[in-house]
Amino acid sequence: RVYAASSLKFLLDQEIAVKLLRPHIQEVIKIFVKLMDDIDNEEVVSSLEEVVAVYHEEVSPYALDLILKLADSFFVYTSNEDEENTEATLAAAGCLGTIKKILKFKLSQEAYHKAVDILVPVFNHVLTEEASMAYLEDGIACFNAVLFNVNEISEKLWHYFLVINYIITGKPANIPTDIS
């Protein structure tokens, strides 16, 4: 199943394969979601990212469900990562890359605001000192995609203005690290 899912991204280079799969894209996505539940594999996530890119119009109605699933998978993969399990790190980064692609669709304002609610824990994770640097670029790219597409920046998003400034310039010495 993993090899089949991984090879799908190469089949999508063929226009005939794209046309044949189009009516079945909802089932294909369900299979990918199930496979992601079973195994943390970067190639599976990479293939899903290609499916999302090729079938963006067909995937748009499922955008929030996919973002939710990818955010959940991101946390599962990050909890499985260690120095010996680079596959989990790559799969987690792939989840962020796929979320970024989905956020670049032209979704409704309501969908973007719901996506923010889903992604706040992801942003909180990727923008901390403890997070792997492997996630920072894609995490900020997801954040940027949201900012670019919303008509009004919510209070939830303004919080990250300071965080990103601290990432760029360094945290001032007079700010306590323990805020409890």
pLDDT tens-digit profile of 128-170? 766 677 788 888 899 999 999 999 988 888 888 887 877 778 7
Distance CA 62, CA 102 (A): 10
In the predicted model, what is the mean pLDDT of the chain?
A: 84
What average pLDDT does this structure show over 93-103? 92
Closest CA to 1 of 32, 45, 40, 27: 32
Q: Return the pLDDT at 40.
A: 66
| pLDDT exceeds cutoff 80 at 6 | no
Distance CA 44, CA 7 (A): 9
* Nearby residues of 93 by Cβ (< 8 Å), 6 or more positions away: 42, 134, 135, 138
**Residue appearing with tokens 């970024």:** 100
Q: Return the pLDDT at 146.
A: 93
pLDDT in tens, 21-56: 999 988 988 888 888 877 767 788 888 888 888 888
- More confident call, 119 vs 174: 119
Q: Return the pLDDT at 103.
A: 94
160, 149 contact by CB (below 8 A): no
Give the predicted TM-score (pTM) of the model: 0.81
- More confident call, 1 vs 113: 113
* Nearby residues of 78 by Cβ (< 8 Å), 6 or more positions away: 88, 89, 92, 125, 132, 135
pLDDT in tens, 56-85: 888 888 899 999 999 999 998 888 766 666
